Structure 1
Amino acid sequence: MFLYKIDDDVSLKLPELKDAERVFELTDHSREYLRQWLPWLDETTSVEDTKGFIQSCLKSYAENKGLTTFILYKGSIVGTAGYNQINWTNKTAYIGYWLGKEYQGYGIMTKAAKALTDYAFKELKLNRVDIRAAEGNSKSRAIPERLGFVCEGRIRQAEWLYDRYADHIVYGMLADEWTSK
């Protein structure tokens, strides 16, 4: 079982099937808010869909291809953060995240992204961490900016969001930059 304590209020834990109901409830409650920037909400309509998501996360973790965690805030699951993909050949992790609407503004995601970046470099010995966010998603983009990631460019029409394409802004951090901070 993976459990990474960040501070007294925030931890990251490996998903478990028993978490499906809470995660679906959180998703459903924040659906309209999250839908603006996440393309998978129309396919997540039941607890069973969330169980399928958890199973795919656990498979990716077992195969050493990714690490999705649930964010605990004061003991309750409030979102997800993790490595959507780990490219071992190039020693790169790609961080993705979302947080329930009512948990915004407490610094939770900044703490989670910082912990994942630190873990990638110190524990996994990776060389690079990427965070990509839709150009208009200022809250998501603020996370890597706050952590000192370098804005490296734009990927045009990188993601289809229901009725439009969104450009992604790419942020990168290298291991030697992180350790010299």
Structure 2
Amino acid sequence: MQYTDNNLSIRTIEEKDLPRLWELIFKEEKPEWKKWDAPYFPHQAKSYEAFLTEQAHWINSEKYWAVELDGHILGTISYYWEHQPSCWLEIGIVLHEAASWGKGIGTRALKLWINHLFNQLPLVRIGLTTWSGNMRMIRVAEKLGMQMEARIRKVRYYQGEYYDSIRMGMLREEWEQHHYSTRRQVLK
């Protein structure tokens, strides 16, 4: 499955994508992107062979998709269940190369992802959790129309400093009223 917005696509991950995903996510011990994506949680590099043992987790997954610009994979977009019985779902995105940051790519990809999730799942709300050290992610959530629902103060410790955990969210009816309607997205 794939959704597009001009030269940007989000799509299910295929076997041919695994070398690129390994290079972006697991090749380096201390990648630049990890400074912004929950840096208070450990990250470990792993060999390509070790990564391949996890390929069932990635290929054709409902929860992890590739973000692609002009046919080049830049990162991943995902969701996880905070509490599936109540349909409490959280989304995330990582653009792994600094050259793709600050260009609106994440906002465009998340628009497509939110449309997909609201159209495919019986969700009442979609959430996004980040930390106060990642102002870019907070701005993206705000651009999408998400509201700050919680600020849990000083619970993320990174490089000798405490940061807040930030919970953003949007209800289905707010998304449907927002100017990012599903009619603007193309399914291929």
- d(CA) in 2 for partners of 1:56 and 1:160? 29
Tell me which residue corresponds to 1:134.
131
Give the whole-Å Cα distance in 2 for the aligned partners of 1:180 and 1:119.
16
Q: Are the structure 2 counterparts of residues 41 and 69 from structure 1 closer, same or farther at C-alpha, using a change threshold of 3 Å? A: farther
Call closer, same or farther: CA 1:104–1:67 in 2, change over 3 Å: same
Give the equivalent residue in structure 2 for 1:94: 90
Alpha carbons of structure 1 residues 57 and 32: separation in structure 2 relative to 1, 3 Å: closer
RMSD of equivalent CA atoms: 2.8
Q: 1:41 to 1:70 in 2, by over 3 A?
A: farther
Q: Paired residue for 1:105?
A: 102
Aligned partner of residue 136 in structure 1, secondary structure: coil
2:24 maps to which residue? 26
Q: Quick one: which amino acid aligns to residue 46 of structure 1? A: S
Cα deviation code 1:112-164 (max 9, x no counterpart): 11111112222223111000111110111111111110101113455565876
Structure 1: 5+ residue stretches without partners: none
Larger radius of gyration: 2
Shift of the 58–164 alpha-carbon distance from structure 1 to 2, 3 Å rule, reads farther
Q: Give the 3 Å change call, closer, same or farther, for CA 79–41 of structure 1 in structure 2.
A: farther
Deviation at 1:90, TM superposition (A): 1.5
Counterpart CA distance in 2 for 1:33 and 1:77 is 17
- 1:179 is displaced (CA, Å) by 0.8
2:164 aligns with 167
Inter-CA distance 179–30: structure 2 relative to 1 (3 Å threshold) = farther
Deviates more, 1:170-179 or 1:103-112: 103-112
Match of 2:112 among 111, 115, 132: 115
Identity %: 27
Q: Which structure has the higher relative contact order (CA within 8 Å, separation 6+)? A: 2
**C-alpha distance in structure 2 between counterparts of 1:14 and 1:138, whole Å:** 28
- Which deviates the most, 120-129 or 37-46? 37-46
Q: 1:35 corresponds to which residue? A: 34
CA distance change for structure 1 residues 165 and 20 in 2, over 3 Å: closer, same or farther? Answer: farther
Query: Which TM-score applies when normalising by structure 2?
Result: 0.78
Q: How many residues align?
A: 174
**TM-score (normalised: structure 1):** 0.80
2:48 match: 47
Provide the C-alpha distance between the structure 2 equivalents of 1:161 and 1:51, rounded to a whole number of angstroms. 31
The 5 A counterparts of 1:51-90 are 51-52=52-53, 54-58=55-59, 61=61, 67-85=63-81, 87-90=83-86
User: What corresponds to 1:7 in structure 2?
Assistant: 5
